[in-house]
Structure 1
């Protein structure tokens, strides 16, 4: 009965009309949620000045002042945002918002500039659900823009020059038309009020070129990100790239990420900065199947520089080498590395036969000797990765009729299916350093059973217990796929995972 009453009250608030208070381009403004002091909005000489109390825009419910106008479809809203005064709380928030309704727990997306300069894309995907965020690498932006394109929201930021550039990161959220679009301020302390000004506010429908083929030929921008696997599961932008990068590894000292782009292997500080190429000699057609040895000293690469274009596997020092050591060269197969045994002695890789297109899992000892099959048919077997104790091998396979995550003994025996959602295609399981969790990338049914293409909308990063004792939970949703998280990418402390999200250039 109480639950029903609460729902009725929420619906009533949703529908309750607010007397029109047109200010500038906005049809109305009002307080949302529990605000101790009524907010206000004025417009003069091209600037909006908003004052508000409210505890926060976060969690399952918000408290802030909002100015809005109804809009539908694709939309960009941009403004310069400046705070008045030093303020009481460094996390006071002023920003641009798209909101489904006027309830405190409404689905929404916004770009918030905090009092301390931190800027993030916040979003609540479900009514009364939790809030998540993607933190920009840029502090104290001179201007920000919130962007809705299809079912994705993303954002851009500008430095001192005022030029807006994509901040990176996006989230898939399905708003129902129309949405409320406008300006928002919360004091982050309901006992006080804070004031922010919004200058040169622009609201535009973007002109987006049609992209007939979003596959490998499509031009994309890339964002290297890290996500917390527990708590609020915040995403943080390490760096945004104007072109394509793929497959981050996390170095064992926790200080850097390693990824591939333009056929080379690159290293970048995990806090952001300038990437530096790792020398790989004549091997300059590296693909996204690379990784770091358990002791952190060596790098394994999968490279296609030979004239036959077959992927071969090489090992070299993490610092680089002009002469990487060839370890796997199969004249009848393409070989893609995926796993390194915790004792450092054995590599697990995917062997793709050139004569029969078979996808099987093989192993090769670094000390030498012949390669040997571990997991062979039926169907596609891919993405092998060892557990930290060396007892198990995790992989994805179609042997059940769906692309699912499996676990076998390290020698390939006794495979056990771990994921069972018939509506998902699950790929590339990565095991946490303590062996308790696996993270993997999951596609929808818009992809073929045996495919893991790039640039797909229905893509999620999911997490589940490594023993399969509980079903997967979604960490985040993104525009991505191939290249997002092909290889091991857990932080050494097991608290974060690195990945790549994408955006079509159009």
Structure 2
């Protein structure tokens, strides 16, 4: 199965505000381009105190928070996975059970890592897996005949959302219960759907081109979706705030990829990442984490 979204803009500058020393207010982690690579960065929810966390070679492709709010899990373009301290950017390699891991995300309790991978070495044969380091226990979660990728944990850690499609102009949000293995399809007949995230009230938010352009949508279960954005630029990678009152997302509005924030009803849309720095893939710091 082949699919594509709008091409990613080319990086044009360095981070506008790099701050060394002690960890400052960090409401959001995100990926920022340093002129060579996509790196992990943090900032307050109004964009203040933005700073790079990593400066190592190689693109970082996905990030998620550990529950302590002091560490990030990073998946790199080479398939490796590391745990990163936000205070000093130190990286600790995680020995994953299989090579070429994609979409790695840590569970809400910090004990497991979900990821996608094709054990057959064929891209369209990806399945969802979960791994418990450092014991090495690994389990295949999905066994569908179509591609499965981009896992996202439910807030209580009992389920995984993921994306799958049977080919053609279809790519849907699915949910698998980890205890029973039962899979529920949450979207259907609506072209491509990506980037799912669960809010505190069980609502999901995701990016979809069902209206002809990629916008941010919200829905409850398999119910009727509601569009939150309406802009000709690409809007994607939505992420609920901890309290469910705001959604951060990446958008190419303005001609370059940045992180934006809006109220849960789609109003009060504001760019929050530094203007001089390409930014994408926001993730809110978990509840109860120590500043």
Normalising by structure 2, we get a TM-score of 0.81
Contact (CA 8 Å) 1:440, 1:462: kept in 2 or not? yes
Aligned partner of 2:173 among 361, 367, 373: 361
Aligned partner of 1:400 among 211, 214, 231: 211
Q: CA deviation at 1:290?
A: 2.5
Q: CA deviation at 1:425?
A: 0.8
Q: CA deviation at 1:246?
A: 1.8
SS state of the match for residue 51, structure 2?
strand
Greater strand fraction, Structure 1 or Structure 2: 1
**Distance across 2 between alignment mates of 1:294 and 1:493:** 10
**Distance across 1 between alignment mates of 2:288 and 2:259:** 16
SS state of the match for residue 458, structure 1?
coil
Q: What residue is the counterpart of 1:352 in the other structure?
A: 165
**C-alpha distance after superposition, 1:355-406 (max 9, x if no partner):** 325211111110133422111132211111111232x111111111221001
Contact (CA 8 Å) 1:226, 1:238: kept in 2 or not? yes
Q: CA deviation at 1:493?
A: 4.6
Contact (CA 8 Å) 2:81, 2:93: kept in 1 or not? yes
**Distance across 1 between alignment mates of 2:82 and 2:196:** 23
Q: What residue is the counterpart of 1:245 in the other structure?
A: 60
Contact (CA 8 Å) 1:134, 1:169: kept in 2 or not? no
**Distance across 2 between alignment mates of 1:462 and 1:366:** 32
Aligned partner of 1:439 among 236, 248, 254: 248
What is the CA RMSD across the aligned residues, in angstroms?
A: 2.9
Q: CA deviation at 1:475?
A: 0.8
Q: What residue is the counterpart of 1:452 in the other structure?
A: none
**Distance across 1 between alignment mates of 2:86 and 2:115:** 21
Aligned residues: 266
Q: 1:361 to 1:335 in 2, by over 3 A?
A: same
Q: CA deviation at 1:479?
A: 5.7
Q: CA deviation at 1:245?
A: 1.7
The structure, 1 or 2, with the larger RCO (C-alpha pairs under 8 Å, 6+ apart) is: 2
Aligned partner of 2:284 among 476, 490, 505: 490
Contact (CA 8 Å) 2:205, 2:219: kept in 1 or not? yes
Aligned partner of 1:381 among 193, 202, 215: 193
Q: CA deviation at 1:426?
A: 0.5
Structure 2 residue 19 is the aligned partner of structure 1 residue 135: yes
Q: 1:465 to 1:444 in 2, by over 3 A?
A: closer
Q: What residue is the counterpart of 1:416 in the other structure?
A: 226
Q: CA deviation at 1:121?
A: 6.3
SS state of the match for residue 18, structure 2?
strand
Give the gaps of 5 or more residues in structure 2. Answer: 1-12, 23-31
Contact (CA 8 Å) 1:362, 1:373: kept in 2 or not? yes
Contact (CA 8 Å) 1:432, 1:494: kept in 2 or not? no
Give the gaps of 5 or more residues in structure 1. Answer: 1-108, 110-119, 123-132, 139-167, 172-219, 446-456, 496-506
Q: 1:320 to 1:478 in 2, by over 3 A?
A: farther
Correspondences of 1:256-295 after superposition (within 5 Å): 256-261=71-76, 262-281=78-97, 283-287=98-102, 289-295=103-109
**C-alpha distance after superposition, 1:132-176 (max 9, x if no partner):** x232579xxxxxxxxxxxxxxxxxxxxxxxxxxxxx8659xxxxx
Q: CA deviation at 1:342?
A: 2.3
Contact (CA 8 Å) 2:197, 2:239: kept in 1 or not? yes
**Distance across 1 between alignment mates of 2:94 and 2:261:** 31
**Distance across 1 between alignment mates of 2:160 and 2:44:** 28
**Distance across 1 between alignment mates of 2:231 and 2:59:** 30
**Distance across 2 between alignment mates of 1:280 and 1:357:** 33
Normalising by structure 1, we get a TM-score of 0.48
SS state of the match for residue 330, structure 1?
coil
Contact (CA 8 Å) 1:442, 1:461: kept in 2 or not? yes
